[in-house]
Amino acid sequence: MLRYTLKRLLSLFISLAIASLLIFAVIEVAPGDPASFMLGINAQEDTLAALRVELGIDQPKWQRYLSWVGGMVQGDFGTSYQYRTPVAEMIADRLWVSLPLALYALTLSTIIAFPAGIYAASRRGKAGDVGVMGATQVGIAIPNFWFAMMLVLIFAINLRWFSAGGFAGWDKGVFAAMKSLTLPAIALALPQAAILARVMRSSLLDVLDEDFMRTARAKGLSRGAALRRHGLRNAMIPVLTILGLQFSFLLAGGIIIEQVFYLPGLGRLIFQSISARDLIVVESVTMLLVFAVITVNFLVDLAYAAVDPRLRART
Amino acid sequence: MNRALILGGALSALMVIAALLSFVWTPFDHGAMNIPDKLQTPNSTHWFGTDHFGRDMLSMIMVGARTSIAVACVAVGIGIGLGVPLGLWAAARQGGWVDEVIMRGNDLIFAFPSLVIAILITAVFGAGAINAIIAIGIFNIPVFARVTRGGALPLWAREFILAARVAGKGAARISIEHILPNIANLLIVQATIQFSLGILAEAALSYVGLGAQPPTPSWGRMLADAQTLVSIAPHMALVPGMAIILTVLGLNLLGDGLRDALDPKLRVARI
Amino acid sequence: MSLLSINGLSLSIAGAPILRDVSLSLASREVVAVTGESGSGKSMTALAVMQLLPARSEATGAITLDGHEMLELDEATLCTLRGDLAGMVFQEPMTALNPVQTIGAQVSETVRLHRPDLNPQSRAREVLDRVGLESIPLSRYPHELSGGQRQRVVIAIAIACGPKLLIADEPTTALDVTTQAQILTLLKRLAAEDGMGLLMITHDLAVVAEMADRIVVMRHGEVVEAGDTPALLADPQHPYTQALLAASNHRVDLPGGAEQAPLLRVQNVVRDYTLPRTKLFVPAGTHRAVDNVSFDIKRGERLGLVGESGCGKSTLTRAILGLEPVQDGSITLDGTPVTDPSVRRKMQVVFQDPYGSFNPRHQVARLITEPFHLLDSPPRDHDVRIESALTDVGLSPDDAQKYPHQFSGGQRQRLAIARALMIRPELVIFDEAVSALDVSVRAQILDLIAELCRQYDLTYLFISHDLSVVRTITDRVMVMQKGRIVEAGQTEAVFSDPQHPYTRQLIDAAPQLPLHETTRARSLP
């Protein structure tokens, strides 16, 4: 198990290193000089030069890459070109919106998808199965930002149960904050729940056909008991993969949903920074998201090993 | 008979026909503004109503279908064109360094949240349909590479491949002659799925202003226009929304239907 | 009073008839074998007793197990009977256990379900000891055990609650011959010690000839004959039983082979595989799959290679075919290394799996002419060759336009032979070529090979785990164990007077049908 963890950890660091290089390279080739963008076209050459020194963009590329990565390791994400404030500070505020939103949506998606998938698998081919599968088929086809608009129309504008947008802030209490995240979380979660339910169902059906399920039934376990005791854990292996992918999707998908609900999250930050050509912020936020995704994949790998003893042995 | 296939095929065909028809005919000029007629709900003149500039929504949907289909088509093409050869190559060199490099590269692309990178690319290189296509297409490459390799690996262990090797055929020839036809089903099904994902991704990018730029109409931007007006003109959001949902639903049903229809095991059972 | 009696059982799945009017009975302490070829319905009969039939099955008739009418009981009652009154052992030990649970948990679960009075852990230990797994801790996972050990765990699960009936569905088919002998002995011992009735399902009559009290022969979902083992084997009444027995003991008539100069020379061949690294800073270990193997095949000779799974025979085969690099030694055909492309046209192969050896999307004409690729230019009499090849293997020239799925397993194996002979190779390799076939089909294919020997002066290497087949189809035989050839010699001499202890062990373990004059004289209908 330790060896497996170390090996995964090594590949985690390699992925992070390559990812940071790629992001840095993309930002590097971006046209435009941040200094002249910040100061406008009428800036004096010596002020520009001074600003470049201040921003550190006069140094050779490799040095800037190293100081960027070195800074991030210590929690220093650089200074925003636009606001001249530490990027870390800007990110920290926004993270407290985006991360809870993603987790909220992931929880909702799981709560909906697991029972739906298990129910459909247990009713294979019957009306219940066909109904659930039809609903998921539609659920997958719905763009989440459109669904978000419909939720706003129904629950905020017509029924007035929720506000149409904005974030109450955690200082107004957990309930108020969660309430303002509820519609966005539902909008994010439903299409994902549809995918997860389908994976849960097909993975369970695959397991039901396995020989060891027949062994379990021959022991005297009922169909349901065999499914619970022997089927679920084996079926969880593909489901875990999808859960890992979904977390990254929810984190990124949040970027668009934040636009719909005017939530001050990482997504808003990215868009604001893009339009202001505040590339250091774009770079750092992207790296942070990639870091989150790679870390989640690492955790999923560890979860695999916890579920499947064969993996622990192989490496 | 396969109901998913028929329904999915019909919905997909409807969208393709609408897109093709828009080249020669639309009810109105999709770009013509007519402020007096703005925000009409669907009626006998404007079947899908008009937007805040009085443009005919049906005409915009038809021309927008063109954008969606073109972006998704080229993005899937990029995925197949690069992903399938890479996957075949990796499978032919299973366990070797080529396989390792290709698959690790794939994992790396998967590690990036696709939407974030698409946004990054369009942000850095400028918004527009071409960059949207590239951004979506890049993420199709590992998908097809993985599906191809996954389908090809068990085939390489099959005895008919060994027989072909005994007959002196090289890896490239075996890949094209024996492997590719036997994974074509898988690829077709995957292509329909990626196609529908491409349409969703294009809509999302256009919605945030990073996809096709005005005056090219696109469903995503129609939704962006609708957002502030949703309370007074819900049809502006409903119409493009339904267009996206029906197209994606149609493609997914088509994929499911094709998988059932093309599965050789099922076909043999039916004979 | 019988423990189990099946009366007039008919079964259909999704409307397709599977069993028709099957009746059989089994008393306590009795061993009854149900035998038949694939599609005979023998496994479905076993599953019907446990009421573990696939979805959309409909059964009529009666199955009475220890006074319980199994067809009339509700699911909850059946659950209390399964595992308690009757236990079941399955064919595939590699997949019959839950991969993510320890064997201790899986054995004790049965105890927990039916015997709350017992301590599940200590009972599990006790039962695992009884099936010969004294040294295996309860905390092991299935993947850490060998196939034979896993089958012992499955047996432990089945007998944990002391059932009155044990059903074993092809319990040894997936196992090597020495392991098979051990598992059969174990089953027999357990049944005798616990006074269980044992219902054995098997396709191999020889397996049950020594242990069954009675044999039931099935075909196409019907019982064709049933009787006491010695009587049934000595004097089968039904023509199908007679044919089945004849096929199981089938001897082919091999023409004399002219021995000349060596055709294939294998000299000191070594093949190592690199094992996955287990420690980061220790060099990866190697597994020697083929260890210093040398032999010759003379022109016109029929050489056999026997050994159990993992002994290196597949690796050796692939090395001879030039598909696998070797670390040391040389393999030459007519003096040229087999890795040379010019040698490829002189060698062809017939594989085991009749379903996997053809590209399902190509027509027969294209499939069997694939070796033409090895020639500089395809022969001009292309169509004539296809026709004669198909006729030679007992198929019709019209079959050239068909697809593989339109043929049965035996016919596909004929196609595979046609493909191998298409370019008149000097050496043919039969890699477990008849192992996946039913006995009657196997007998026909063996006859075909003998016939082709006459026609084509074949030289071949026949690789098999099945000793009885190798004995009849080869002139000389080699025995392989752990990558080494431990014994080689004239086939009859090796079989009648084995020198190496491993050879002796193999021959003793191989199940044998007692030979009766009646069955020998008759041939297949």
Considering the domain architecture, whether residues A145 and A9 belong to the same structural domain is answered as: no
Cα-based torsion angle of the residue sequence B26, B32, B35, B38 in order, rounded to the nearest 10 degrees: 30
pLDDT of residue C516: 58
Look at residues A41, A73, A105 and tell me which one is the last residue of a structural domain: A73
Considering the domain architecture, whether residues A125 and A267 belong to the same structural domain is answered as: yes
Please, what is the end-to-end C-alpha distance for chain A in angstroms? 8
Could you report the predicted ipTM of this complex, rounded to two decimals? 0.84
Say yes or no to pLDDT of A269 above 90.
no
Residue A84 belongs to a domain: no
Could you tell me if B148 and B87 are in contact, meaning their C-beta atoms sit under 8 angstroms apart? yes
Considering the domain architecture, whether residues A199 and A249 belong to the same structural domain is answered as: yes
Residue A147 belongs to a domain: yes
Q: How many domains does chain A have?
A: 2
List, for residues C486-502, the tens digit of each pLDDT value.
Answer: 999 999 999 999 999 99
Distance between C62 CA and the closest CA of chain B, angstroms: 31
CB distance A210–C95 less than 8 Å? yes
- Say if C405 is an interface residue toward chain B (CB within 8 Å): yes
Residue A127 belongs to a domain: yes
Which superfamily does C4-248 belong to?
P-loop containing nucleotide triphosphate hydrolases (3.40.50.300)
List, for residues C329-376, the tens digit of each pLDDT value.
Answer: 899 988 888 888 788 888 888 988 777 788 888 888 888 888 887 777
pLDDT of residue C8: 92
Over residues A174-188, the mean pLDDT reads 87
Which residues does residue C350 pair with via DSSP β-bridges, in sequence order?
C430
List, for residues C188-220, the tens digit of each pLDDT value.
Answer: 999 999 999 999 999 888 888 888 999 999 999
pLDDT of residue C515: 63
Over residues C142-160, the mean pLDDT reads 92
CB distance B237–A153 less than 8 Å? yes
Q: The domain that contains A149 carries what CATH number?
A: 1.10.3720.10
Percent of chain C residues past pLDDT 90, beyond the cut: 42
Considering the domain C262-275+285-512 in this protein, what is its CATH number?
3.40.50.300
Question: How is residue B210 written in tokens?
Answer: 């990073």
Considering the domain architecture, whether residues A154 and A100 belong to the same structural domain is answered as: yes
Identify the residue among B159, B175, B270 best suited for mutation to test binding to C, counting C beta carbons within 10 A and taking the highest: B159
Q: What is the pTM of this model?
A: 0.82
Over residues B249-268, the mean pLDDT reads 73
pLDDT of residue C27: 92
pLDDT of residue C205: 85
pLDDT interval class at B245 (50, 70, 90)? very high
pLDDT of residue B267: 40
Question: How is residue C259 written in tokens?
Answer: 């021995």
CB atoms within 10 A of CB C55: 8
Q: Please report, for chain C, the start and end positions of each structural domain, with discontinuous segments joined by +.
A: 4-248, 262-275+285-512
Contacts of B255 in chain A (CB under 8 A): none
Question: Distance (Å, rounded) from C-alpha A293 to C-alpha B110?
Answer: 9
Residue A83 belongs to a domain: no
Cα-based torsion angle of the residue sequence C14, C15, C18, C24 in order, rounded to the nearest 10 degrees: 100
Considering the domain architecture, whether residues A98 and A63 belong to the same structural domain is answered as: no
pLDDT of residue A142: 92
- Say if C348 is an interface residue toward chain B (CB within 8 Å): yes
Q: Alpha helix (H) ranges present in C282-424? A: 313-320, 341-344, 364-368, 382-392, 409-421
- By CA distance, what is A315's nearest residue in C? C278
What pairing do the DSSP bridges indicate for beta strands C476-481 and C484-490? antiparallel
Over residues B86-102, the mean pLDDT reads 85
Question: Distance (Å, rounded) from C-alpha A306 to C-alpha A303?
Answer: 5
pLDDT of residue B268: 36
Say yes or no to pLDDT of A114 above 80.
yes
pLDDT of residue C479: 94
Say yes or no to pLDDT of B54 above 80.
no
Q: Is it true that C4-248 and C262-275+285-512 share their CATH fold?
A: yes
List, for residues C106-140, the tens digit of each pLDDT value.
Answer: 999 999 999 999 899 999 999 999 999 999 999 99
Q: Which residues contact C141 (CB under 8 A, 6 or more apart)?
A: A309, A310, A313, C99, C100, C101, C102, C103
Question: Distance (Å, rounded) from C-alpha C31 to C-alpha A313?
Answer: 40
List, for residues B120-179, the tens digit of each pLDDT value.
Answer: 777 777 777 788 888 888 888 988 998 898 888 888 888 888 888 888 888 888 999 889
Look at residues A18, A38, A73 and tell me which one is the last residue of a structural domain: A73
pLDDT of residue C525: 38
- By CA distance, what is A274's nearest residue in B? B123
Residue A210 belongs to a domain: yes
User: How high is the mean pLDDT of chain A?
Assistant: 84
Backbone torsions φ then ψ of A73, nearest 5 degrees: -60, -35
pLDDT interval class at B270 (50, 70, 90)? very low
Considering the domain architecture, whether residues A191 and A294 belong to the same structural domain is answered as: yes
Contacts 24+ apart (CB under 8 A), C482-486: C482/C291, C482/C311, C482/C312, C483/C288, C483/C289, C483/C290, C483/C291, C483/C293, C483/C311, C483/C312, C484/C291, C484/C292, C484/C293, C485/C293, C485/C294, C485/C295
Q: What is the DSSP letter of C311?
A: S
List, for residues B8-48, the tens digit of each pLDDT value.
Answer: 899 999 999 988 888 888 887 877 777 777 777 888 777 77
pLDDT interval class at C518 (50, 70, 90)? very low
Q: How many CB pairs under 8 A join B and C?
A: 55
Smallest CA-to-CA distance from C131 within C195, C186, C194, C188 is with: C186
Domain that holds residue A181: 93-279+288-314
- Say if B172 is an interface residue toward chain C (CB within 8 Å): no
Contacts of C109 in chain A (CB under 8 A): 219, 221, 229
pLDDT of residue C276: 62
Residue A257 belongs to a domain: yes
Considering the domain architecture, whether residues A127 and A197 belong to the same structural domain is answered as: yes
Over residues C175-186, the mean pLDDT reads 89
Considering the domain architecture, whether residues A201 and A105 belong to the same structural domain is answered as: yes
List, for residues C276-324, the tens digit of each pLDDT value.
Answer: 655 555 566 778 888 899 999 988 889 999 988 888 888 899 899 888 8
Residue A81 belongs to a domain: no
Question: Distance (Å, rounded) from C-alpha A45 to C-alpha C438?
Answer: 90
- Say if B232 is an interface residue toward chain C (CB within 8 Å): no
- Say if C373 is an interface residue toward chain B (CB within 8 Å): yes
CB distance C99–A211 less than 8 Å? no
Considering the domain architecture, whether residues A137 and A68 belong to the same structural domain is answered as: no
Distance between A225 CA and the closest CA of chain B, angstroms: 31
Distance between B249 CA and the closest CA of chain A, angstroms: 5
Considering the domain architecture, whether residues A150 and A6 belong to the same structural domain is answered as: no
Percent of chain A residues past pLDDT 70, beyond the cut: 94
User: Which chains form contacts with chain B, at 3 or more CB pairs under 8 Å?
Assistant: A, C
CB distance C374–B160 less than 8 Å? no
Over residues B66-85, the mean pLDDT reads 92
